[in-house]
């Protein structure tokens, strides 16, 4: 695909990834039209602070990715409050009700929405995904005394830390046997469980929610947790229906190749909704992170303007702020990858002899070293990892490792 052939690029989804795709297309010198369509009324904004700084401050001015005049200056047509409901691939057109947008290339950045497990009275629970969710949650938290959080993942735990800091009673019910089980090692899960208990958060693992009513949250084991605020934070599902209905391949998200193209080469997908091949690892993943959204966006923009961007191979990284702890993850580990705890409490993850991720708490130096290691060494061995990360001096492994 060459730049000259593309005139109109349409981006569906105006979150961090959609925004970045639009901005990067202009940075790369794309001169055709760029249309950025989002379902929300506000300007594109950052989501990570919604469960952190915004919950405390309520200040939305700090959230906008750019001010309104940025879109004008860069000739990006921002279409807010608009839900695309159909892709007509034969005519290269997307439809939103009676509005239509023709494209030469389409970028799907539709993100995720909260998973809604079968819990009776679930409509009483609040969500924390969008800015309007966060505004509603702030108002409710100001009136609440006891919060129950369904789900001990990043969002649930970040909220729990803020709510505990506001002096509320908080309980977190996690269905799995440990916190953040999909994303971190058992060792890091355990450290965070202790941390939250130290904040007076009542952490209950292996507990699924059954019903919500006036009394609060009822767990499947028959116990009841008194609560005047229930937050649903039980994971997300990718918004992939639009792609599936258009006949694109969907399997835990919109399937893309190493160029981030869907099964239709005129359509790319990025960020939370895209299942992409993890470079050199032989499997596909879907990552819910700012890093994946922005790195995907830049890669697609480069390919569309320069014709080729090579295979996508950016190093995944992630962070979560919970009270005064900053968790940072470099690389990508699968839940059953082995783990080794270092003396300072950081954890190295391995798949066989290969280092797959480094998990740290309040250790930015080690985190950045790990990112650099992954960027420079495609498949670091245990020996390389230990040498490059200066593990010698903190070599004492956790008991039993």
Contacting positions for other proteins (CB under 8 A): 46, 48-49, 62-63, 65-67, 69-70, 73, 290-291, 294, 298, 317, 319, 321, 326, 328, 364-365, 367-369, 371-372
Q: What number of CA atoms fall less than 13 Å from residue 147's CA on the CB side?
A: 33
How far is residue 326's CA from residue 310's CA, in Å, rounded to a whole number? Answer: 33
Minimal distance in Å, beta carbon 45 to other proteins?
9
Of residues 33 and 46, the one with the C-beta less far from other proteins: 46
Give the nearest distance from C-beta 158 to other proteins in angstroms.
Answer: 12
- Strand-pair category, 274-277 with 325-331: unpaired
**CB burial class (10 A; 0-12, 13-18, 19+) of residue 370?**
buried
CB nearer other proteins, residue 262 or residue 322:
322
Name the helix (H) or strand (E) containing 264: none
C-beta atoms surrounding 345 within 10 Å: 16
C-alpha to C-alpha distances, 194 to 107, 200, 326, nearest whole angstrom: 42, 10, 15
| Residue with token string 């000259």 | 4
Residue nearer to other proteins on the CB measure, 286 or 298: 298
Nearer to other proteins, 240 or 327 (CB): 327
For residue 354, list its beta bridge partners: 351, 381
Instruction: Tell me how far apart the alpha carbons of residues 275 and 295 are, in angstroms, rounded to a whole number.
Output: 14
Q: Are 316 and 287 contacting, i.e. CB atoms less than 8 angstroms apart?
A: yes
CB of 67 or CB of 306, closer to other proteins: 67
CB of 131 to other proteins, least distance (A): 14
Burial grade of 121 (CB within 10 A; 0-12, 13-18, 19 or more): middle
Tell me how far, at minimum, the Cβ of 102 lies from other proteins, in Å.
Answer: 29
Minimum Å gap between C-beta 302 and other proteins is 12
Q: Decide whether 175 or 294 has the Cβ nearer to other proteins.
A: 294
Q: How far is the CB of 74 from other proteins (least distance, A)?
A: 8
Minimum CB distance to other proteins smaller for 184 or for 250: 184
With respect to other proteins, which residue has the nearer C-beta, 56 or 365? 365
Distances (CA, A) of 85 to 38, 88, 252, 334: 12, 10, 20, 34
Least Cβ distance, residue 70 to other proteins (angstroms): 5
Question: Nearest approach, Cβ of 128 to other proteins (angstroms)?
Answer: 17
Nearest CB to other proteins, comparing residues 67 and 145: 67
CA dist 385 → 380, 389, 392 (Å):
6, 6, 10
Pairwise CA distance, residues 343 & 243, whole Å: 47
- Tell me the C-alpha distance between 362 and 367, whole Å: 9
CB of 258 to other proteins, least distance (A): 20
């Amino acid at each position: 695909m060459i730049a000259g052939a593309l005139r109109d690029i349409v981006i569906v989804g105006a979150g961090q990834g959609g925004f970045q795709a639009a901005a990067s297309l202009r940075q790369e010198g794309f001169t055709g039209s760029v249309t950025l369509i989002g379902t929300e009324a506000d300007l594109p904004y950052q989501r990570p602070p919604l469960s952190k700084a915004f919950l405390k401050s309520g200040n939305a001015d700090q959230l906008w990715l750019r001010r309104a005049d940025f879109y004008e200056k860069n000739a990006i047509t921002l279409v807010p409050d608009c839900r695309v409901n159909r892709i007509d691939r034969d005519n290269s057109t997307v439809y939103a009700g009676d509005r239509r947008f023709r494209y030469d290339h389409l970028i799907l950045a539709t993100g995720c929405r909260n998973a809604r497990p079968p819990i009776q009275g679930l409509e009483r629970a609040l969500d924390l995904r969008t800015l309007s969710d966060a505004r509603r949650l702030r108002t409710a938290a100001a009136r609440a005394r006891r919060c129950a959080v369904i789900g001990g993942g990043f969002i649930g735990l970040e909220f729990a830390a803020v709510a505990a800091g506001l002096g509320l009673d908080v309980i977190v019910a996690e269905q799995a046997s440990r916190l953040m089980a999909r994303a971190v090692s058992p060792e890091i899960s355990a450290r965070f469980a202790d941390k939250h208990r130290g904040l007076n958060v009542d952490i209950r693992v292996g507990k699924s929610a059954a019903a919500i009513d006036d009394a609060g949250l009822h767990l499947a084991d028959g116990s009841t947790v008194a609560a005047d605020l229930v937050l649903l934070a039980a994971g997300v599902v990718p918004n992939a229906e639009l792609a599936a209905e258009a006949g694109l391949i969907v399997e835990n998200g919109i399937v893309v190749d190493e160029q981030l193209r869907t099964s239709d080469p005129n359509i790319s997908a990025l960020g939370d909704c895209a299942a992409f091949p993890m470079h050199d690892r032989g499997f596909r993943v879907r990552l819910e992170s700012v890093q994946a959204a922005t790195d995907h966006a830049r890669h697609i923009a480069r390919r569309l303007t320069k014709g080729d961007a090579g295979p996508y191979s950016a190093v995944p990284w992630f962070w979560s702020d919970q009270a005064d702890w900053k968790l940072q993850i470099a690389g990508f580990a699968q839940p059953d990858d082995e783990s080794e705890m270092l003396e300072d409490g950081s954890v190295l993850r391995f798949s066989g002899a290969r280092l797959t991720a480094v998990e740290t708490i309040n250790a930015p130096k080690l985190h950045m070293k790990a990112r650099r290691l992954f960027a420079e060494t495609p498949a670091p061995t245990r020996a390389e990892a230990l040498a490059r990360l200066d593990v010698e001096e903190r070599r004492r492994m956790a008991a039993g490792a």
